[in-house]
Structure 1
Amino acid sequence: MNTCVTYEEFGTPHDVLKVSSLLKESPKKGEVLVRMVARPINPSDLIPITGAYSHRITLPDIPGYEGVGIVEEVGQAVSQEWIGKRVLPLRGEGTWQEVVTAPADWVVPVPDEIDDETAAQLYINPVTAWIICTEVLRLGQGDVLVVNACGSAIGRLFAQLAKVIGFRLIAVTRDDQHTQELLELGASTVIRTNESQLAPTVLEVTNGKGAHAAIDSIGGAAGTALAFCVCPKGHFLTLGLLSGQQVDWAKISRETQANVKLFHLRHWNQQVSVQVWHETFHQLISMIVNGSCILMTPSASFRLQDVRKAVRAAASAEGKSGKILLVP
C-alpha cells in the first residue's frame, strides 16, 4: 500500500487534507518509482488546495511539487542503474505520498555532498530565483533589483544570487528581524517598511533613478507600492500573493511606466527542453556544493500522517524560520 495525502474538496489546507492508503502501482514505461525521504511545505503547495487554481486541478488530488527520495523500481526502457540512487522525482505525481512515479528523463540525481534536507528544497525556490534573474529579468553587473518579503526562503536566495551574478539587491522587509542576515548573504541595502517609506527610500539609495526591476511576493497595497520603485521602462514582476489580494493594476498602469511581468514556474516547465532542465539543476547544485548558495535549515519535521499539524506549523513559520518537512 501507498500512504498519501489527498484532498477531495478545496478549502483551508488543515481542514480538507486527509491521509489515505492507495494501492502501490508499478512504474510504467519510461518511469521510475521513488520512495520519498523528505518533502518541504511551500506556499505553492498550499495555495492550490484553497481553490485558487481550481480551473486546472482535478479532484481528488495529491499535493506536493518537490522532495527527495530513493529509486526503488524502474519501468521498461529505464536503466536498472537508477535503482538505489537518490533523486529529485519531479514533474510526476504529487510528492506528499510514500512512493511517487516520475518520468525518468526529468529525474535529477543528487550528489552525496548534499544532504536530504537541502536536496528536498532544490526545486521550487532555487529554480524560480535563478530563472527570474538570468532568463526573465536578465540581470547583470550594476543592475538594481528590489524585492519585498525578502526575509523569506526565496528572498534569501535573491540576496545570494546578487553576489553570484553581480547585481545590486535592495531587500524590503517589515522589520529589523532579517536585516543583518540579508546583508551578510549579499543584499546591498535593507529597507524596513515599519521605519521608512518605500518608494522615496529606493529613490534616495539609487540617486533618484529607481530600480531596474522589482519582484513582488505580497500583492495588495505592499505590492502596489513596490511598483513605484521601478525606473521608467523597468520591470515589475509578480511572483506571489502572500496577502491574498491583487495589486492595484489600474493604478500601476495609470501612474507608473513599469513593464509588468507575471512569473509561473509551470510556464517555464512547459517550454524547457530536457537538456536545459538538467543544465539548470547542474548549475544550481554546483552553487550549493561550492557554498555560493545556502538553503535554509528546516525548522521542523512531521510525519506524513500528521500533515494537518504540519501545514498549521508551516503557515505560522513562513518567512520567520526554515521550511517544514514531511518525512516518513
Structure 2
Amino acid sequence: MKATLFNAHGGPEVLSYEDVSEPTPSAGEVLLRLDAGGLNYIDTYHREGLYPVDLPCIPGVEGAGVVIGLGDGVTDVKEGDRVGFAGAMGSYAEQIAVPADRLIPLPEGCSSEDAAAVLLQGMTAHYLVHGSYRLGADDTALVHAAAGGVGLLLVQMAKKRGARVIGTVSTAEKEALAREAGADEVIRYTETDFEAETRRLTDDAGVEVVYDSVGLTTFDAGLRLLKPLGTMVLFGQSSGPVPPVNPQILSAEGSLFLTRPTMAHYILTRQALLDRASEVLNWVASGELSVRVGARYSLAEAGAAHTALQSRQTTGKVLLLP
C-alpha cells in the first residue's frame, strides 16, 4: 500500500510518499481502509521532533473509513462498519490498524470526510468549552486563531453555550469566516493590537477566559486581558512554545488560573471517548455544527499541506485523501 512517512525529523521536505507493507491487526485491533485523514498541528510537531516518535514514522492521528479486517478478540465491530478514530498514529496511509476501543461509529448523515474533519478538533473544542473552562452565558471568551480548524468549531460551541466571543484572525477572509461561525467581535491582529482592541471592546474589563493555540506571541498579553480569577487555556503553540511561567505572575495579574490541557486526559475511558465524540458527530449529522473543509490534498502532497498549515494559509480543516 501507499503511505507518507518520514525517516528523520525536519521540515515538510522530509515527508516521503512510498510503498509500505500493509498492516496486520493484532489482538484487539481493527484494520481500516481509510477514506480520509485529518491534518492537525500535532502532525508537524511529530515531524519536527518536538514530540517524540519512533522512526520511521507514518504520521497522522485522525481518520475515518471502513472496517476490512478484525484482530483476535474483537466483537464490537464487524467488516463493513463505517468508523472514525482520533489518537491512533498512522493515518497518512491507505490502511491503518487501530485499537478497537478507540473507534467511534459514524451516525447516519455523517460522512467519512465529515468525521476526519471534525473528530480531533471537534473533541478538542468540546473539552475546551465544557471542561478546561466551563463557559456560561455571562462569560466573554477571547479565541485566538478563530478561523482555524479548532477555532471555527470552538466559536460555534461557545455560542451554543451563550457566551460572548471575541476572535482574532489575520485576514479579511478569515474575519468573514469567524463572523459566520458566530463570533460577536473579530480583531485582525495584523492591523490592530489585539490587547488594546480587546480592552476597548470590553470597556477595559477584560475577559473570563482566553483560548490560546498560538502560544509564544500571544500568551503574555492574554494573561493581562484576563479578569481577576480568569482562566488561560493554553492548548497550542503555533508561534512557538511558551517559556516557563513564574506562578507569582498569576497572583499579581489577579489570582489567575492557567491550564495546559491535552485531549488524552479528557477521553481516558471508553465511555468518555464515546460521549464526547458522539455528541460532536451527532451535531454534525443534524446540522447543528458546521464543519468547514478548507483544502483537500492527496497523500503524495502531504508536504505541501504541512507548508500551507504552518504558514497560516489554511482556513478550517485540511484533509488528506488516499
CA shift for structure 1 position 104: 1.3
CA shift for structure 1 position 149: 1.7
Residue number among 62, 69, 73 corresponding to 1:73 in the alignment = 69
Q: Which amino acid in 2 is paired with 1:5?
A: T
Q: Which amino acid in 2 is paired with 1:324?
A: V
Q: Which amino acid in 1 is paired with 2:100?
A: A
Q: Which residue is 1:292 aligned to?
A: 288
CA shift for structure 1 position 27: 1.6
Give TM-score, length-normalised by structure 1.
Answer: 0.89
Cα gap change, 1:253 to 1:310, in 2 (>3 Å): same
Cα gap change, 1:197 to 1:300, in 2 (>3 Å): same
Matched, 1:41 2:39: yes
Cα gap change, 1:261 to 1:80, in 2 (>3 Å): closer
Q: Which amino acid in 2 is paired with 1:48?
A: H
Question: Counterparts of 1:61 and 1:150 in 2: how far apart (Å)?
Answer: 31
Question: Counterparts of 1:309 and 1:196 in 2: how far apart (Å)?
Answer: 30
Question: Counterparts of 1:185 and 1:89 in 2: how far apart (Å)?
Answer: 25
CA shift for structure 1 position 171: 0.8
Q: Which stretch of the first structure deviates more once superposed, 183-192 or 118-127?
A: 183-192
Question: Counterparts of 1:117 and 1:253 in 2: how far apart (Å)?
Answer: 42
Question: Counterparts of 2:76 and 2:138 in 1: how far apart (Å)?
Answer: 48
CA shift for structure 1 position 267: 3.4
> Which residues of structure 2 form unaligned runs of 5+?
none
Check the 8 A contact 1:217/1:223 in 2, yes or no: no
Check the 8 A contact 1:198/1:229 in 2, yes or no: no
The number of residues matched between the two structures is: 320
Q: Which residue is 1:6 aligned to?
A: 5
Q: Which residue is 1:308 aligned to?
A: 303
CA shift for structure 1 position 51: 1.1
Question: Counterparts of 2:87 and 2:201 in 1: how far apart (Å)?
Answer: 42
The SS at the match of 1:282 is helix
Matched, 1:321 2:315: yes
Q: Which residue is 1:115 aligned to?
A: 111
The SS at the match of 1:203 is helix
Matched, 1:211 2:200: no
Deviations along 1:182-206, whole A, 9 cap, x unmatched? 2232211112234433333323322
Q: Which residue is 2:121 aligned to?
A: 125
The SS at the match of 1:123 is helix
Check the 8 A contact 2:216/2:239 in 1, yes or no: yes
Give TM-score, length-normalised by structure 2.
Answer: 0.90
Check the 8 A contact 1:89/1:101 in 2, yes or no: no
Q: Which residue is 2:54 aligned to?
A: 58
Q: Which residue is 1:238 aligned to?
A: 234
Q: Which residue is 1:154 aligned to?
A: 150
CA shift for structure 1 position 127: 0.5
> Which residues of structure 1 form unaligned runs of 5+?
none
Question: Counterparts of 2:18 and 2:35 in 1: how far apart (Å)?
Answer: 18
Question: Counterparts of 1:285 and 1:319 in 2: how far apart (Å)?
Answer: 27
Q: Which residue is 2:91 aligned to?
A: 95
The SS at the match of 1:207 is coil
The SS at the match of 1:121 is helix
Q: Which residue is 1:29 aligned to?
A: 27
Q: Which amino acid in 2 is paired with 1:268?
A: Y
Matched, 1:186 2:185: no
CA shift for structure 1 position 247: 5.8
Q: Which amino acid in 2 is paired with 1:305?
A: A
CA shift for structure 1 position 319: 5.3
Check the 8 A contact 2:206/2:227 in 1, yes or no: yes
Question: Counterparts of 2:279 and 2:207 in 1: how far apart (Å)?
Answer: 27
Percent identity between the two aligned chains: 27
Check the 8 A contact 2:64/2:85 in 1, yes or no: yes
Question: Counterparts of 1:321 and 1:138 in 2: how far apart (Å)?
Answer: 26
Q: Which amino acid in 2 is paired with 1:323?
A: K
Deviations along 1:22-52, whole A, 9 cap, x unmatched? 3324322221100111112221111211011
Matched, 1:144 2:135: no
CA shift for structure 1 position 253: 4.5
Check the 8 A contact 1:34/1:89 in 2, yes or no: no
Check the 8 A contact 1:36/1:67 in 2, yes or no: yes
Q: Which stretch of the first structure deviates more once superposed, 305-314 or 45-54?
A: 305-314
Cα gap change, 1:291 to 1:176, in 2 (>3 Å): same
CA shift for structure 1 position 264: 1.8
Question: Counterparts of 2:138 and 2:33 in 1: how far apart (Å)?
Answer: 45
CA shift for structure 1 position 245: 4.6
Deviations along 1:89-117, whole A, 9 cap, x unmatched? 44434111121111112211112312232
Question: Counterparts of 2:182 and 2:168 in 1: how far apart (Å)?
Answer: 13
Deviations along 1:145-186, whole A, 9 cap, x unmatched? 101121212111121112211111111223433333322322
Q: Which amino acid in 1 is paired with 2:6?
A: Y
The SS at the match of 2:34 is strand
Question: Counterparts of 1:92 and 1:222 in 2: how far apart (Å)?
Answer: 30
The SS at the match of 1:237 is strand
CA shift for structure 1 position 255: 5.4
Q: Which residue is 1:256 aligned to?
A: 253
